[in-house]
Amino acid sequence: MNAGQNTKMLRGAIWACVIPVGLGLIGLGFTIFDLMFYEQKKFIVRTHHFFTRPVVLSFILGTPLAAWIACRHLRTINSAEKLSRWRRSPFEGLVGATLAHFGAVCLYVICVWLFVDLTGGGYDMSQRDVGVLEIGFKMLTFNTVLWLFITLPLSLICATIFWRVTKFPDDPTVRQADL
């Protein structure tokens, strides 16, 4: 029997998502507060929201997606010994987080390019001479830094939480439900 398919990973995946989703909800609260404060002052477009909103949404939506991708990869492992090793969880967690991060970056670049193209100007509406390539380079640099300092450490922390909470079977012939 396949050890990965016999392991119940939902509890571990939920606990692994708690920290990033919690940070995302806190960031969402700050973003909503900022929007309400500046909306009263009649400021409609805030430049930093082009960077903070996607990061907040990536924490809230990307983390469960990354956990799902990681669990899907872990389910294909046949050996219970290989599955229960610590290093397998961070590897799969990092792969899932990187795929979710890359997908969010691609979606974000497309949305910003459409916004720049539709408005005919820069990302803060006052810089009409900013080119699409310059914006793309800034976004890729920004997202590389985000991946290195946020996605990488959080995926390792969350994978460790997942590994500690999930009960892996000792023998692949024993069903997890029987334990």
Helices 88-119, 49-57: inter-axial angle, 10-degree rounding: 140
pLDDT for res 178: 39
Structure tokens at 117: 């193209």
Q: Are 74 and 83 in contact (CB under 8 A)?
A: yes
pTM above 0.85, yes or no: no
pLDDT at position 39 is 62
Cα separation, 17 vs 4, in Å, equals 20
Domain ranges for the chain, please list them.
Answer: 3-169
Per residue of the chain (179 residues), give pLDDT as tens. Answer: 577 777 888 999 999 999 999 999 999 998 888 777 766 555 555 566 667 788 888 899 999 999 999 999 988 888 878 888 888 889 999 999 999 988 888 888 787 777 766 766 544 544 555 566 776 777 778 888 888 998 899 999 999 999 889 887 765 454 544 33
Cβ atoms of residues 12 and 162 within 8 Å: yes
Predicted confidence at residue 82, as pLDDT, reads: 82
